[in-house]
Structure 1
Amino acid sequence: EPVTEFTWINRYMNWSNLCLLSGVNKYATSFGRIWLSVVFVFRVLVLLVAAEKAWGDEQGNFRCNTAQPGCHNVCYDHFFPVAHVRLWALQLIFVTCPSLLVVLHVAYRMERERKHTLKYGEGCSHLYADMGKKRGGLWWTYLLSLIFKMAVDAVFIFLVWYIYEANDFPLLVKCHEDPCPNDVDCFIARPTEKRIFTVFMVVTSMVCILLTLCETVYLVGKRCYECKCIWIRSKSPFSLECNIFLFKNYAGKYTF
C-alpha cells in the first residue's frame, strides 16, 4: 500500500496519541474541553474521512490542455505550492503539541512528589496540594500553551488565504508559466468540494481560536479575581464572597 499523507496522518493520530492528548481534559477548563472535542470531531475526523476523497490524487487529476513536457508539473506547482492536506496535518500537529506540554509538566510534578516522598517518608508534607491544580509554573505553562495554539491557528489561516488566494477554486485556471506555450487552460478536479472543505476547516480553526481566547480570558480573569480577593482578605478577613471563592478553588493554599 503506498504511503500517502493520509496514511501518515492516521499513524500520527492513532488511538494511543489521542488518549494521551485527551488526558489534557483533566487539567482543562470547560472551554478547553470543548476545544478538544472540536479538534477531534470537526478537524481530525473530517480530515481523515472526508478530505481524502477530495484530495486523494490531486496532481493526477489536475489536467492541462497541452502536451508540452514539464508544463503540467509547473502549472500544478504554481496553483498548489503546498497541498491543503499537508498544511492541515502540520497545523494539527503544531496545535496539539502545546497541550501535551501541560501533561508533561504534571508528570514532572508527580516525579518530584515521588522523590520527595521517598526521601522524607510517607508522613511528610506534600510539595503540591493538588498535582493538577493550575498554580505556579503549571499556570504559566497552560497559559503559554493557549497563546501558542491561537498563534498557530491564526498563522495557518493566513497561509491558506495567502497561498490559495482567499480559498478560490475555479474550475478553469489559466497558466502561463515556463515552459508552457502561451496561455494554457488547466482544470482543477472537484473545485466546489475543495472550496467547501477549505472553508469548513478555516471556520473550525476560527472557532478554535475563539474558544482558546475565551479560555485565556477566563484563566487570567480568575487569577486577577484571586489577587483581588487576597487583597480584600488582608483588609477584611471575614469577606464572605472572597472566602467562599478561595475555599472552593484554593483550599490547600489559604487558611480559613
Structure 2
Amino acid sequence: MDWKTLQGLLSGVNKYSTAFGRIWLSVVFVFRVLVYVVAAERVWGDEQKDFDCNHRQPGCTNVCYDHYFPISHIRLWALQLIFVTCPSLLVIMHVAYREDRERKNREKNGENCPKLYSNTGKKHGGLWWTYLLTLFFKLGIEIVFLYLLHRIWDSFDLPRLVKCDFHPCPNTVDCYIARPTEKKIFTYFMVGASALCIVLTVCEIFYLIFKRVVRSMQKLKKKKRSLTYSKASTCPCHSRLDHDGKLKISPVEALRASAPNLTLI
C-alpha cells in the first residue's frame, strides 16, 4: 500500500483543521502509519507459515489458523487506517466545491462581482456540518475496529499456545504462535494510539460545538443591542437624552420648573 499518496492527500486537511485536528493527523501518521510500515508489518510477516502445530495432518494447520486468526492484525489495522482517514477527504472535496462555485460566479458576473464566500476554507454553514460529520465518522470507525479487535482476540491477548480440535485434526492439537510477546506489545501500542485518537476526536467535537454556541450567543446579543437601540432612537423621550443618558432641558424649561407662577413674555 502506498501510504505516501494517502499522506499527500491528507496533508491538505491541515489548512482547514482545528488544533485538535492537526494533533490527530500527526498522531495517525507518526504513531500509527509509521509504526505500521516500519515495524509492525515486518513483525507479523507470513503468520500462517510461522503458525506451528504438533501434527502434520494435511489441512489441520490451516483450519486451526483460520479459527484463531479469522483476519490478521496487520490487515485489520490497514483497513482501520484507510477507513479512519478517508472521511477527512470530504472536507477537501467540500472546499473544492466552494472554490468551483466561486470561479463560476466570477466567470458569469465578472471579476468585481460580490464573492459567494468570504473564505472558502472557513468552517461556516455547510462546511461546518461536513467537518463535524467527518469527526463522528472517524469516532465511530475507531470504536468499531477496537471492538472487533477485542472481540476476535479476547482482551487483545495473544497466547503462546492454543489448542485446536477441529476437523480434519484427528485429536486435540497444540499450536504455537510465533513471537507472541512482540506481537502483543505492538497490539497494545496500536490500541493505545487508537484510544488517543478517539480522545482527540471527542475533544475536537466538543470544541467545534462550544465555539459554534459561543458565536451564536454573541450574534444574538448584538441583535438584541441593535434592536434596543433602534427602539430607543424612535422614542421622543429618548431623543432628548445626552451622551451620558441624562435628559436635556432647555434654559426656558429650567426657568419654568423653578418658578411655575412666572409669566414669560
Q: Same fold (TM over 0.5)?
A: yes
- Structure 1 distance, partners of 2:67, 2:8, is 39
Q: Which range is displaced more, 172-181 or 65-74?
A: 172-181
- Structure 1 distance, partners of 2:209, 2:199, is 15
SS class of match (1:166): helix
> 1:204 aligned to 193, 198, 201, which one?
193
Aligned to 1:148: 137
- Please report how far the alpha carbon of residue 18 of structure 1 lies from its aligned counterpart in structure 2 after TM superposition: 1.1
> 2:76 aligned to 75, 87, 90, which one?
87
- Structure 2 distance, partners of 1:133, 1:87, is 35
- TM-superposition CA deviations, 1:164-201 (whole Å, max 9, x none): 11111111111111111221000000000111111111
Aligned to 2:233: none
What 5-or-longer segments of structure 2 have no aligned partner?
227-265
SS class of match (2:163): strand
CA RMSD of aligned residues (A): 1.1
Identical-residue share of aligned pairs (%): 62
- Please report how far the alpha carbon of residue 232 of structure 1 lies from its aligned counterpart in structure 2 after TM superposition: 1.2
- Structure 2 distance, partners of 1:20, 1:170, is 39
Give the letter for the 2:160 counterpart. Answer: L
TM-score, normalization by structure 1 = 0.87
- Structure 2 distance, partners of 1:17, 1:181, is 47
- Please report how far the alpha carbon of residue 236 of structure 1 lies from its aligned counterpart in structure 2 after TM superposition: 2.8
Aligned to 1:241: none
Give the letter for the 1:105 counterpart. Answer: H
Structure with larger Rg: 2
> 2:151 aligned to 142, 146, 162, which one?
162
> 1:117 aligned to 81, 103, 106, which one?
106
- Please report how far the alpha carbon of residue 49 of structure 1 lies from its aligned counterpart in structure 2 after TM superposition: 0.7
TM-score, normalization by structure 2 = 0.84
Give the letter for the 2:25 counterpart. Answer: L
Aligned to 1:59: 48
- Is 1:105 paired with 2:100? no
> 1:35 aligned to 24, 30, 37, which one?
24
What 5-or-longer segments of structure 1 have no aligned partner?
1-8, 238-256
- Structure 1 distance, partners of 2:209, 2:85, is 21
